[in-house]
Amino acid sequence: MLELVKAGGWPMIPLLLLSAVGLAIIIERFWSLRRQTVLPHNLGAEVRAWAARGNLDPAHIESLRQNSPLGALLAAALDVRNRPRDQVRERIEDVGRHLVHRMERYLNTLGTIAAAGPLLGLFGTVVGMIQMFLGILDHGLGDVSQLAGGIGKALVCTATGMIVAIPALMFHRYFRGRIAGYIVDMEHEAIQLLDTLDTRPASARVAPGAMGITPPVDAT
């Protein structure tokens, strides 16, 4: 392995750095995007039970917000639970965009590694070929087997670039798909919470205007 790295020359250095960064991102995203971390089991049902009983004090909501991305989304809905449903949905969508951005952290970097790996590998091969042909220009063709060996060494960078890029591309798409699945599940939980808030008994609701929110005027 060390001989292959030496054969590739100095262009192998950025390729090795990209492989290390890509591996670190993959491990970190696997840890951060565990389902139990993003969508804790039974959290949605527990929050709906709180909402149905009207047991929604600020400490509960703040604890929920720090729990997980799903908790932060549900807490955002509870913050404006006494507003009209369309306003609550707008708040959920706004917070959801921030949560998606947070879950997609480092994925752009992983995608860049997938795109840059083959290009760096090709660059290293071109550099190696240039050096080889300059040597032929100075010293003549010499042994054909040495020429073939030089070409093989130059192609080491291309192979390394592909080795770096293929896993990065695969995991980039995998994490995107996992996040998309989480988004669907989080939207489902948020809609269920909205339905629960709409069907609470009157005694569990805050009177209109009690939180400084003016109720909509009935045009009829």
Segments making up each domain of the chain, as ranges:
2-199
Coil, strand or helix: which one is 41? coil
Show the tokens assigned to 193.
Answer: 């919470």
Cβ proximity of 47 and 81 under 8 Å: no
In this prediction, residue 205 carries a pLDDT of 45
Which of 12, 14, 17, 1 lies closest to 128 in space, CA to CA? 12
Residue 200 predicted with pLDDT over 90: no
For position 138, what pLDDT does the model report? 65
Q: What pLDDT does 5 receive?
A: 65
Mean pLDDT (the chain) is: 81
- What CA–CA distance (Å, rounded) separates 110 from 99? 19
H-assigned helices in the chain: 2-8, 12-32, 35-38, 43-53, 58-65, 69-79, 85-103, 107-139, 144-154, 156-198
Range name among 9-13, 61-65, 115-119 with the lowest pLDDT average: 9-13
Give the per-residue pLDDT at 216. Answer: 40
User: Using 50, 70 and 90 to split pLDDT, how confident is the model at 185?
Assistant: very high
pTM of the model: 0.78
Summarize pLDDT for 16-36 with one digit per residue, the tens. 999 999 999 999 999 999 999
- CA dist 150 and 131 (Å) reads 9
Q: What is the pLDDT of residues 117-172, one digit of tens each?
A: 999 888 888 887 777 777 666 666 665 555 666 677 778 888 889 999 999 999 99
Q: What is the mean pLDDT of residues 71-76?
A: 92
Q: In the prediction, which pLDDT does 167 show?
A: 95
Are 104 and 174 in contact by the 8 Å Cβ rule? The answer is: no
pLDDT: is 11 or 61 the higher one? 61
Residue 97's identity, in one-letter code, is R
